[in-house]
Amino acid sequence: MRSAVFYSAKGGFWGKLHLFPLKTFIRQFANESFLKRWAWLVLLIVAILTLTGGVFDLPLVDRDEPRFSQATIEMMETEQWVIPYFNGEYRFDKPPLTYWWMRVNYWIFGTTEFAARLHSLLAGYFCALAIFGFGCRLYDVRAAFLAGLGWLTCLQVMIHSRMAVADMPLVLAIILVQWATWELLKGRRKVTYEKHEVPTEGGEIREIEVPRQDPIEPRGKFSKWFFVLWFSMGLGFLAKGPLIFAVPLLSWLLWRWVFWRKHKQPWGKLQLLTGSLIALFIVALWGLPALVETSGAFWDRGMGEHVIERGYKSFNDRLVLPIYYPLTAFISLMPWIAFAWWGYVKMRRNWDERAAFLLSWFIAPFLIFTFYSTQLPHYTLPGFAAFFLLLFMPSKEKIETGKWEKRFYWIVNGVWIVVLGAIAYLVLTQNFTGPRIGTLRFILACAAVLWLGLLGVGYSFRKPSVAQMVFALFAIYFGTWGMGKGLRDVSPAVALTHFFEDAPEGTQWRGVIYQEPSLVFYSGDKWKFFGHVAGIQTEQAMLEEAQAPTGVIGLEMEWRLEDFAKTLIGQPLSPRVDHSAEWEEAGYEFDEVYYMEGVNMARMSWVKLIIIPPEERPGDTAE
């Protein structure tokens, strides 16, 4: 019986995972229909613990979060639905679906960080439900449930389900596209359940229900899955552009010509021409007005600069590495990457067209972005659902756990314990100055709790334990909650809000060297940004200053993480960037400005800022 050998190697995780923790309740999950009925609730509870910690307190991080968040506000202020704006200028980076979803959140909850991120949080949970639904169709309910659980406890999923960006809606659309593709190509199986009596560990006989798949029933020409496929295509493009076409298409090609090449597929059932017209129609409802209103600039900038140009020009001039994504997978897929070798062995021994389909899907984003010059860890996120479905696929026979699977597991976890220890040593031994050293240590402690929670989740699947699993999930929640609290306390943009609130009406704010979009969101004002101190001393800048109150937020010094790391080998701590001489040369005396230190989360650096409030700007005179 498949359910009895779901994970069938001897000992520990490898032989006991079908006795998944939460013992009292989960025993009922031997009944397939019971598990299918209540899986959504268990996944919801896990999502609350893994995805919501700190979501109300965490300030906007990176540079895309405040841009998305503020652009939605400006669309609401201008009653605009087609063209997003940021800081009063066109924002061509992404299509509008994310802005529309965030707009609904703002209407309900107000313009808060939580409302800005709610769409990602919901999409992350909906992805888990879609993985569960697809897993039930591919394999069985237990495999589907564990795949959804793995998704919700994956580090990169936890990160991007907390971000006010467009990635999670895109990933949800890709999962639905792949699910619908399978349903259309492979037909439908009516699943019924047979009752079987199996012995328990205590020698008792227990009755369980085992699924039985009846013969395939062909689907109609315009079934619901046809519309799911092509509507998801259209909405996926509105979420983040052409990647919704690239990932499924490449995965289909890999499936047909590489991993399952001896088997033809009934591609006509996808109705590519009719479906493509539906998807293009959905895109055109927004795209044509956008092109007309911007005289074609949305295509030239949105596709030309933000898609094509980034393909051959690396983001922020970063070094392009061919092995970048396999390396970052050891972070993004934690803690589950530690089980990858075991999953590979199981996949190889249970190879069929389902495994070929999932492997093609998993590899597609890696292949696409390996040859894409801009490299960011989350770009491969559209393939993670396939990873978890492969990892938890049922086994047809008992699989003995080999020594290399065990070694791989402990090597991966051992490396990250060493890295965590090195970071802890680095932060705890640095001679930071200022009142926020306690907050930094608190953030580090919470990061350690989060990390231990992730490792605990993985270990709980290896050595099932109710107490350990519950502890691990709550550790993730409280670790992320504490990090959100701490990061808010050291966020310069959040701390600057009282300067923004006290400034005279109509103040023109200027960012000098420090050009972070978070300043625009937290001030609610339009900003002018300058790359050097001399920029605010030009004749034009002086004329603008005479016409309206002017405030300045400027960067004086910046320390990067690698600067702190060098102290581990005995080098002195010194700032990577030091503009203090420029500020002194410009004539700003120490008693005329304020100073602030904090974490610039867009660059993960420690910064020292100069704040010049409007009323204290040098040269102001009273009539």
Q: What is the pLDDT of residues 193-220, one digit of tens each?
A: 566 666 665 666 666 555 555 555 556 6
Residues 228 and 169 grouped into a single domain: yes
Helix 97-109 to helix 64-77 angle (10° resolution) is 70
Query: 3-class DSSP state for residue 217?
Result: strand
Which of residues 376, 401, 426 is at a domain's end? 401
Last residue of a domain, one of 468, 489, 510: 489
Which of the pair, 467 or 122, is modelled with greater confidence? 122
Question: Does 533 fall in a domain?
Answer: yes
Question: Can you give the residue range of the structural domain that contains 263?
Answer: 2-15+28-192+214-308+325-401
Give the three-state DSSP class for 395.
coil
420 with 538, same domain: the answer is no
φ, ψ (nearest 5 deg) of residue 212: -125, 125
Domain membership flag for residue 346: yes
User: Of 60-64, 351-355, 473-477, which gets the smallest average pLDDT?
Assistant: 60-64
Radius of gyration of the chain (CA): 27
Name which residue leads in pLDDT, 68 or 397. 68
Shared domain check, 421 and 378? no
The reported pLDDT for the residue numbered 5 is 31
What's the rounded mean pLDDT across residues 220-245? 91
pLDDT, mean of residues 210-233: 76
Note whether 375 and 397 are same-domain residues.
yes
Same domain, 381 and 420: no
Largest CA-CA distance found in the chain, in angstroms, rounded: 96
Looking at the structure, do residues 186 and 113 belong to the same domain, yes or no?
A: yes
Within 10 A of 585 (CB to CB), how many other CB atoms are there? Answer: 10
H-helix or E-strand spanning residue 484: helix 466-489
**314 domain residue, yes or no:** no
Is residue 95 located within the same domain as residue 118? yes
Residue finishing a domain among 462, 489, 516: 489
Q: Using pLDDT thresholds of 50, 70 and 90, give the confidence band for residue 399.
A: low
Tell me: the pLDDT tens digits for 544-567? 777 888 889 999 999 887 777 676
User: Would you say residue 206 lies in a domain?
Assistant: no
Average pLDDT of span 247-258: 95
Q: What is the pLDDT of residue 11?
A: 42
| Encoded tokens for 356 | 């070929």
H/E element, 477? helix 466-489
Say if residue 505 is in the same domain as residue 469.
no
Q: How confident is the model at residue 499 (pLDDT cuts 50, 70, 90)?
A: confident
Amino acid 356 reads: A
pLDDT greater at residue 151 or residue 403: 151
Mean pLDDT on 375-386: 92
Q: Are residues 551 and 575 in the same domain?
A: yes
Query: What is the pLDDT, as a whole number, of residue 219?
Result: 62
CA distance 315 to 306: 10
Q: Assign 294 a pLDDT band (cuts: 50, 70, 90).
A: confident
Q: What is the mean pLDDT of residues 601-617?
A: 81
Higher pLDDT, 356 or 7: 356
In a domain, 198, yes or no: no
User: What pLDDT, on a 0 to 100 scale, did the predictor assign at position 71?
Assistant: 93
Grouping H, G, I as helix, E, B as strand and the rest as coil, residue 557 is strand
Q: Are residues 464 and 388 in the same domain?
A: no
Report phi then psi at 514, rounded to 5: -80, 100
Q: How far apart are CA 70 and CA 66, in angstroms?
A: 6
The Cα–Cα gap between 208 and 222 comes to 37
Residue 353 — left, alpha, or beta (φ > 0 → left; ψ -120 to 50 → alpha)? alpha
Percent of the chain predicted with pLDDT > 70: 80
Count: domains in the chain: 3
Closest CA to 227 of 283, 285, 176: 176
622: in domain: no
User: What is the three-class DSSP state of 612?
Assistant: strand
In this structure, the answer to whether residues 506 and 550 fall within a common structural domain is yes
* Confidence band for 9, pLDDT divided at 50, 70 and 90: very low
Q: Is residue 203 part of a domain?
A: no
Q: Residue 592 and residue 356: Cα distance in Å, rounded?
A: 67
- Could you give the CA distance from residue 118 to residue 365 in angstroms, rounded to a whole number? 25
Q: Is residue 297 part of a domain?
A: yes
Say how many C-beta atoms besides its own lie within 10 A of residue 19's C-beta.
15
Residues 465 and 567 in one domain: no
Neighbours of 573 (CB within 10 A): 12
Element (H, E) at 362: helix 353-370
Q: Which residue has the higher pLDDT, 144 or 34?
A: 144
H helix or E strand, kind and range, residue 512: strand 508-512
CATH number at residue 581: 3.40.190
